[in-house]
Amino acid sequence: MLTSEAYRQQGIVEMGNGKIQDRHGHVYYPKKSKRPLQAIRLFCRECMGSDRRAKPKSEHNELIRDCCDPMCPLHDFRLGKNPFLKRVLSDGQKAAAVERLTLARGAHKK
């Protein structure tokens, strides 16, 4: 477990109000609230070797998509979607959804 002393030995300085500075001079602010799937996606990017501060690139997405660690508890969520929230619609519900979408597209064109 990392303690304040372990952080100091690594060159990390606490600046107060939750801000810290690493040995390279980068300042990190307190965690901002993120949606859980966004946080999982960032974790996976970092796990696959990408810097969390870097803008996402297509090669990073390919690395995450090709992740071969099925024992990771986040493996199913790595693409930023919850695979367990799939809607199962009856034929009547599908027809109603198609009708609503058609009406919405028609109203949008006007």
Higher pLDDT pick, 33 / 19: 19
The pLDDT tens digits for 67-85 are 888 898 888 888 878 888 8
pLDDT at 100 over 80: yes
pTM: 0.48
Higher pLDDT pick, 58 / 63: 63
Q: What is the pLDDT of residue 69?
A: 86
Region 9-19 average pLDDT: 79
CB environment 47-80: b (16+ within 10 A), e (fewer): ebebeeeeeeeeebbebbeeeeeeeeeeeebbbe
